[in-house]
Every structure is written in structure tokens, then in C-alpha cells.
Structure 1
Amino acid sequence: MKTLVLVRHAKSAWGDPTLADHDRPLNDRGRRDAPEMARRLRERGVLPDVVRASTAVRARTTAEAMAAELDLPADALRLDERLYGAGPDTILDVVAELADETGTVMIVAHDPGLSDLAYRLSGEIEHLPTCGVAEFRFAVWSWAEVAEADAVEVHLDTPR
């Protein structure tokens, strides 16, 4: 079994018009929601082996907060610039590169790519809100198989 956890970055701040999109930080709600969503994952017994996150400040900060709440080792989190603004195919390319020994991965990135991928994998999740968590379990041996596999279990959790 492989478990793919898609997390849209938490709510970001728009208060500084001089900041580039890549550099926008989380707002207060985002800083609250990220650890809360990680606690919910832990309560369901979902503990990622690895986390891959966009290099954007809001995605990186979301991933760091969630990894800390899940007590993941520092080397479990890696930033991947391909996830900034990535579409579903690019996200799946990142996933396909994972070591097959990895059982659970968390991808922290952006919309519309994450919502598009969640819909592709589920046929029912049309929108992933900020800090929303979509979890997919696949009966496959290799991460390269996920792109063509049907999820055997789908779970959606949102902060609200």
C-alpha cells in the first residue's frame, strides 16, 4: 500500500503588496490551521515517511509546521521547486521519483494543481481549500504506478 497525502498550503497573508507571490507568508489563521491539520492526521494514524513541499514561503511554512507537529525528523522534509505552480502531471512526476520503500508521502503545494490532481485521483474532490488535506491509498508496490492506479480509499479533511 502507498498513501499519498495532498496538502494545500495554509491561508496566506496578502497585506504587503510589495512581496512577490513566492514570498507571501502565512496569516494568523494559516499558522493555526497547519498544526491542527497535522494533529488530525496523527489521530487517524497517518504519519508521512517523507514530505515534499513547494519552495514558496507559504507552502514551506505549512510543511514545516505540520512536520514539527508530527515529530518528523528534519531530513523527512525536502523542498522541491517543481511544486511551485505545478500541475497534476508534475506533482505525479515528483511522486513517481520516491523510493518504493516509502509508504506514505505528504505533498504540500498549491492550487489549481492540487485540486485538479485530487479530482483526477478521486473523481469527487473538486476543490481543496487552503490547508485542506486529501488522502489517497493505493494498492500498488511502486510510486510510479500511482498515476494510473485507482485509489482504494479516499479521505478529505478541511480546517472548517
Structure 2
Amino acid sequence: MKTLLLVRHAKSSWSDPTLTDRIRPLSGRGKHDVIKMGERLANRGVKPDLLVSSPAVRALETAKAIGKEIEYKKKNISVNDRLYACQPRDILEIVKDFDNGLSYVMLVGHNPELTDFVHLFTDSVAYMSTCAMLELRFYVDAWADIARENLQDIFYDFPKNEI
């Protein structure tokens, strides 16, 4: 079984219009939401083998805040430049290259890339809102084998979801 947890970065700040897209930080609401979602993951006992983030500031801040809540060491967060301004097929290549010794990987990225990537496997999630989390479980032994037909289960959560 391989489990992929996709996380869209939390809400970013637009308060400084001089900042480029890549260096926009989280907004106040984003910081609040990411802690809330990190707590939900911690309550579910989520312990990824690997946490991978886009290099964009808002994505990396999201990854670090979630990591803190689930007790994942900040120094172990992997940054992959290919997760910024990419295509769904790029994400698929990244995932298929994961070491097969890893069973559970968390990936923090952006929209529309994540939503489009999700649609390669399921149509049950129309859109990934900010700080949304989608867990995809595949009945496979190798990351290279993940496909729509071997998707076993999904779990979708987002900040406004009343669990």
C-alpha cells in the first residue's frame, strides 16, 4: 500500500504587492488554518515517511507548520523545485520516482496543479481549496504503479470542513 497526502498551501498574503509570487508568505488566516489542519493530522496519527514541499515561501511555511504539529523535523523536509509552476504530469513523475521503501509521503504544492493532478486518479474532489488535504491510498507495492484503477481509498479535508 502506498499513501500520498496532497496538501495545498494555506492562504497567502497579498498585503505587499511588490512581492513576487514565489516569495509571498502566508496570511494571518493561512497561519491559523495550517495549525488547525496540522492538529487534525496529528489527531489522526499521520506520520509521513517523507514530507516534500514546493520552494515557494507560502508552501514551505505550510510544510513547516504542519511538520511541527505532526512532529516531523523541519530539517527533514525535502524541497523540490519542480513542484512550483508545474504540470500534473510533472507531479506524477516526482511521485513515481519516490523510493519504494517509503509507504506514506506528504506533498505540499499549489493550485491548479494539485487539483489537476488529483483528477488523474479521481473525480470525487472537484477543487482543492487553500490548506485542503487529500489522502490517496493505492493498492500497489511501487510508486511507479499508482494509477486510477488501483486507487483504494481517499480522505479529503479542508479548514471549513466541520469534522
TM-score by length of 2: 0.93
**How far does residue 86 in structure 1 lie from its aligned partner after superposition?**
1.9
Identical residues among aligned pairs (%): 41
- Post-superposition shift, 1:149? 4.5
Match of 1:81 in 2: 81
SS in 1 for 2:150: coil
1:106 aligns with 2:113: no
Which residue is 1:91 aligned to? Answer: 91
Structure 2 residue aligned with 1:157? 157
1:35 matches 2:35? yes
Q: Matched residue of 1:120: which SS?
A: coil
CA gap 1:125/1:114 in 2 versus in 1, 3 angstroms:
same
SS of 2:15's equivalent in the other structure is coil
Once residues 15 and 74 of structure 1 are traced to their aligned partners in structure 2, the CA distance between those partners, rounded to angstroms, is 27
Structure 1 segments, 4+ long, off by >3 Å, are none
**Structure 1 CA distance for aligned equivalents of residues 154 and 76 of structure 2:** 24
**Contact 1:86–1:110 under 8 Å retained in 2:** no
User: What aligned pairs does 1:4-153 form with structure 2 within 5 A after superposition?
Assistant: 4-147=4-147, 149-153=149-153
Displacement of 1:42 in angstroms is 2.2
- Once residues 124 and 29 of structure 1 are traced to their aligned partners in structure 2, the CA distance between those partners, rounded to angstroms, is 27
Question: Quick one: distance in 1 between partners of 2:151 and 2:98?
Answer: 18
Deviation at 1:36, TM superposition (A): 1.5
| In 2: Cα distance, 1:123 partner to 1:146 partner | 16
1:22-66 alpha-carbon deviations (Å, 9 max, x no partner): 010000111111121122122223221111110000001000111
What is the alpha-carbon distance in structure 2 between the residues aligned to residue 144 and residue 46 of structure 1? 23
Instruction: Give me the whole-angstrom Cα distance separating, in 2, the residues matched to 1:81 and 1:135.
Output: 22
Query: Residues 81 and 92 (structure 1 numbering): CA distance in 2 closer, same or farther, change over 3 Å?
Result: same
* Residues 137 and 152 in structure 1, CA contact (< 8 A), matched pair in contact too: yes
Paired AA for residue 140 in structure 1 = V
Question: Cα–Cα, structure 1 residues 148 and 131, in superposed 2: closer, same or farther, change >3 Å?
Answer: same
Secondary structure, aligned partner of 1:19: coil
1:146 to partner: Cα distance: 1.3
Provide the rounded CA distance (Å) in 2 between the counterparts of 1:125 and 1:106: 18
Long gaps (5+) in structure 1: none
Q: CA RMSD in A?
A: 1.3
Cα distance in 2 for partners of 1:2, 1:147 equals: 11
Q: Cα offset for 1:75?
A: 4.2
Instruction: Pick which of 128-137 and 80-89 moved more.
Output: 80-89
